[in-house]
């Protein structure tokens, strides 16, 4: 059989076109880039335009730069340099940019500065647009948090406990030097009122060292070791305390911070392949979702979710001028303060507390059968009954303030006579009659939460939370490879979270 001649289609990359195709013709009608363009065109960007002062040379239109950034986050392009390249090489970015070619400095400046005070408003307007379309509701939301690594050096850190330890060492050595000076000094040089070292400061240390030095200066029997220590204290301690004061101001109650991004806190991360939780500088990102749409986001320096809840929900109110009807969250939010907050705001809460899962599985009281929560309480008489049936009467109460400033009321109940009780060895280890401490308000809130969580509606909401807010984080971090912020500082990182949230909502809208 004779070989057939192979025919190739004409190929000439240098061929000139009389009427070259437009970018509009090359982009599909249902392509995501059109959705980005349509949504940005539909919202009011007056606040963003007001961020420009005017005068000087003409500026790129903020609407165009916003479209480029949002589409970049939709398509996993987060670097300003890569976005610059995309406006020259990618037909979708070229179409969005109207063939403009902003450089990476312009893009980065727009993202880091122009959007600081306006992106939250833009995000809210987009959510409201989606609500008008009927694709989501902000009445019933799911709340959860995740930690995302900061773009900082992992080994340049400052620890609050280390500062406390170093200040305590200075305090003890300063006290020892003072006592030594009072011991070796003459009667007229002794000070009957020693300095108060409760709070150390640069000025107080300088004054104290000067007093000690004036006493020991002309004494011949001062040891060489003491002179060296005093000289070291004079040269090093005031400077060190000034540094510690500056560091404590940056810490602002946190346990740590990164020197290259002082707003980032070192947190235990779960992304290590050995699952042993490495400490890295990070931010705690909180999201509220509804049907995997993000309806709100917030950024926090707290490693735990408990202290973020009230601020996060109050921000929801500021954005939408109403509270959600119901909120579903895991046990990380189930503190007395948060449960009380839900009750005060008349929000239907489906929030687990710490022992809820164990109570449901029956494991709660297996390890601690004599725990205070297992004892019977007589509300009318305000007393408990111990495992042997002995009455435990209230002997007083006290107030306790949490790290967030929330005040708790704790009541104390004591057994009358534990002597000779056959259960004493397993009931308690105290040398005296057993005393238990009870937070009645927390117990009441737990019972209320349990009643909500175990209803048919509560069970449905708990199940939905697992495939609503958690997959949203998984999609951002795993599918779209965003595991580390590009920018530094709370204000700029907050912009990135906003862009990620807008991108997530657009991807969900397109899907």
> 288-346: per-residue pLDDT in tens?
999 999 999 999 999 999 999 999 999 999 999 999 999 999 999 999 999 999 999 99
pTM of the entire structure?
0.89
Give percent of the chain with pLDDT exceeding 90: 65
> 157-188: per-residue pLDDT in tens?
999 999 999 999 999 988 888 888 877 766 54
Q: Are strands 293-300 and 348-351 parallel, antiparallel or unpaired?
A: unpaired
Last residue of a domain, one of 190, 222, 257: 257
**For residue 457, pLDDT beyond 90:** yes
User: Per-residue confidence at 111, pLDDT binned at 50, 70, 90?
Assistant: very high
- The total domain count for the chain is 3
Answer whether 61's CB lies under 8 Å from 494's CB.
Answer: no
User: Per-residue confidence at 190, pLDDT binned at 50, 70, 90?
Assistant: low
Classify residue 375: in a domain, yes or no: yes
48 in the same domain as 109:
yes
51/115 Cα distance (integer angstroms): 8
Classify residue 291: in a domain, yes or no: no
Answer whether 434's CB lies under 8 Å from 415's CB.
Answer: yes
Q: What is the pLDDT of residue 78?
A: 95
Classify residue 479: in a domain, yes or no: no
**For residue 487, pLDDT beyond 90:** yes
Classify residue 328: in a domain, yes or no: no
- Both tokens of residue 340? 């009380």
Tell me the mean pLDDT in the region 233-241: 89
184 in the same domain as 97:
no
- In whole numbers, what is the pLDDT of the chain averaged over residues? 90
180 in the same domain as 109:
no
Pick the more confident residue, 70 or 15: 70
Classify residue 481: in a domain, yes or no: no
3-state secondary structure of 138: coil
Domain extent, residue 251, equals 158-257
488/299 Cα distance (integer angstroms): 13
493/111 Cα distance (integer angstroms): 10
The contacts of residue 139 (CB under 8 Å, 6+ apart) are 324, 325, 326
258/155 Cα distance (integer angstroms): 8
Last residue of a domain, one of 115, 149, 184: 115
Answer whether 70's CB lies under 8 Å from 102's CB.
Answer: no
Closest CA to 386 of 359, 426, 355, 354: 426
162 in the same domain as 246:
yes
Q: What is the pLDDT of residue 454?
A: 94
438 in the same domain as 374:
yes
DSSP string, 97-133: TTT----HHHHHHIIIIITTTTHHHHHHHHHHHHHHH
Last residue of a domain, one of 216, 231, 257: 257
Classify residue 474: in a domain, yes or no: no
Classify residue 301: in a domain, yes or no: no
> 250-260: per-residue pLDDT in tens?
999 899 999 99
Alpha helices in 253-299 (DSSP H): none
172 in the same domain as 105:
no
Classify residue 468: in a domain, yes or no: no
Pick the more confident residue, 340 or 225: 340
**For residue 396, pLDDT beyond 90:** yes
46 in the same domain as 108:
yes
175 in the same domain as 89:
no
506/32 Cα distance (integer angstroms): 8
226/218 Cα distance (integer angstroms): 13
């Amino acid at each position: 059989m004779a070989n057939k001649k192979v025919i190739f289609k004409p190929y000439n990359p240098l061929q000139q076109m009389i009427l070259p195709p437009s970018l509009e013709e090359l982009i599909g009608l249902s392509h995501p880039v059109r959705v980005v363009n349509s949504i940005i065109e539909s919202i009011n960007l007056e606040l963003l335009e007001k961020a420009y002062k005017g005068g000087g040379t003409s500026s790129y239109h903020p609407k165009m730069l916003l479209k480029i950034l949002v589409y970049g986050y939709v398509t996993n392009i987060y670097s300003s340099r890569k976005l610059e390249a995309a406006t020259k090489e990618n037909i979708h970015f070229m179409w969005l940019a109207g063939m403009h070619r902003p450089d990476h400095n312009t893009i980065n400046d727009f993202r880091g500065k122009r959007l600081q005070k306006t992106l939250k408003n833009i995000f809210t307007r987009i959510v409201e647009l989606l609500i008008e379309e009927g694709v989501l509701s902000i009445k019933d939301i799911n709340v959860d948090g995740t930690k995302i690594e900061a773009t900082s050096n992992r080994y340049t850190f400052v620890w609050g406990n280390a500062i406390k330890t170093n200040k305590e060492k200075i305090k003890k050595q300063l006290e020892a030097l003072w006592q030594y000076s009072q011991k070796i000094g003459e009667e007229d040089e002794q000070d009957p009122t020693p300095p108060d070292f409760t709070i150390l400061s640069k000025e107080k240390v300088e004054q104290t060292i000067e007093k000690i030095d004036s006493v020991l200066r002309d004494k011949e029997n001062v040891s060489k070791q003491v002179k060296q220590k005093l000289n070291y204290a004079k040269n090093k301690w005031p400077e060190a305390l000034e540094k510690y004061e500056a560091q404590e101001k940056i810490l602002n109650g946190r346990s740590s911070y990164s020197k290259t991004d002082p707003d980032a806190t070192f947190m235990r991360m779960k992304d290590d392949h050995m699952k042993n939780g490495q400490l890295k500088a990070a931010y705690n990102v909180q999201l509220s979702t509804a049907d995997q749409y993000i309806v709100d986001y917030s950024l926090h320096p707290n490693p735990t979710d408990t202290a973020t809840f009230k601020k996060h929900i109050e921000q929801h109110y500021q954005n939408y001028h109403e509270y959600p009807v119901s909120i579903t969250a895991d046990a990380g939010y189930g503190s007395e303060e948060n449960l009380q907050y839900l009750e005060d705001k008349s929000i239907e809460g489906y929030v687990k507390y710490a022992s809820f899962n164990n109570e449901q599985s029956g494991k709660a009281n297996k390890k601690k059968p004599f725990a205070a929560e297992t004892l019977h309480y007589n509300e009318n008489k305000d007393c408990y009954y111990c495992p042997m049936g002995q009455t435990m009467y209230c002997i007083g109460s006290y107030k306790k303030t949490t790290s967030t400033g929330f005040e708790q009321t704790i009541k104390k109940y004591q057994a009358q006579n534990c002597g000779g009780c056959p259960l004493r060895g397993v009931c308690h280890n105290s040398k005296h009659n057993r005393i238990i401490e009870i937070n009645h308000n927390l117990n009441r809130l737990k019972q209320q939460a349990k009643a909500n969580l175990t209803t048919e509606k509560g069970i449905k909401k708990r199940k939905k939370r697992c495939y609503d807010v958690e997959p949203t984080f998984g999609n951002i971090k795993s599918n779209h490879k965003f595991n580390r912020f590009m920018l530094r500082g709370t204000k700029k990182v907050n912009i990135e979270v906003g862009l990620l949230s807008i991108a997530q909502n657009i991807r969900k809208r397109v899907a």
